[in-house]
Amino acid sequence: MNNFLINIIGPTAIGKTSLSIKVAKHFDAEIISADSRQFFKEMKIGTAVPEEAELNAAPHHFIQHISIHDKYSVGDFERDAILKLEKLFETHNIAVMVGGSGLYIKAVTEGLDEFPAVDPKIRANLNSHLEKDGIDWLQQKLFILDPDYYKVADVQNPHRLIRALEICIATGQPFSEFLDQEKSERNFETINIGLTAERELIYERINRRVDIMMKNGLLEEARKLYPSRDLNALNTVGYKELFAYFDGDTDLETAVSEIKKNTRRFAKRQLTWFRKDEHIKWFDHNADPGEIFRYIESQINI
């Protein structure tokens, strides 16, 4: 094959956007965003959508292309991204994909795992527990039934928890046993570039980013979205904490602190997910871009 997809991956706030633009410009490529939170046009500040100058620096796809009211699954993204890549590869043999959503990246590069059918009553029962007992009940249940998946799951996302639990309950097997099945055929090779830093530095960058988001109007953005708070797209870090503030359940200072804490936890899970992949070439977040370009060129034999 002579088509290459260059993946820029790593934890949130590490500098993936900046590097992806530099790589895209160097290799005359376009960028596929695999950040599932940035898909939604109403969620700009809280998802750290690239600035207009960044979007104009290289062609981007799948950023703010749908509404929070649209149903859009990882399977939909896999289909749309593969179609877009096929189109891009008609004129260029290199494309760039960037994001921290491990499942969405895996969907494009390897295809989604297949799961057995589940009795709808199981999901209904789990949703009933969520409503009655809260997300803590789901988290504890997953920890018991599949501790391996619990370590890497987004345990603040009830949709993901319920999906894993319904498979565990329906099959009597851990959800994680259905992961990492045989890869789908792709018409491109993947080059994985990971950005990393000392954990304390990552956490410091996250805290600083949240402060910038608040300064740039995250509170006002969340207030506009508050009437739609029950939508799945809004059940995410940066918004649900402010919704709790609007509900009077906490004060603003505590809500912002919770955003920082939950984002740090999210970054930790991202690192746990990516560290399992031995095909990622890791670079320090301050690495010379030229060093990264040379590595990529060595992989595609330029």
Residue list, annotated binding site: 10-17
Percent of the chain having pLDDT more than 90? 82
Neighbouring C-beta atoms of residue 73, cutoff 10 Å: 11
Give span(s): CATH 3.40.50.300, the chain: 4-113+181-300
pLDDT in tens, 210-229: 999 999 999 999 999 999 99
Tell me the binding residues for ATP.
10-17
pTM assigned to the model? 0.83
CATH number of 120-178: 1.10.20.140
Question: Mean pLDDT for the chain?
Answer: 94
Beta bridge partners of 189: 4
Cite the residue boundaries of each domain of the chain with CATH code 1.10.20.140: 120-178
As given in the structure block, the two tokens for residue 17 are 């956007």
> What fold characterizes domain 4-113+181-300?
Rossmann fold (3.40.50)
d(CA 112, CA 132): 32
d(CA 282, CA 275): 10
Residue 7 in this model has a pLDDT that exceeds 70: yes
Return binding residues for substrate.
12-17
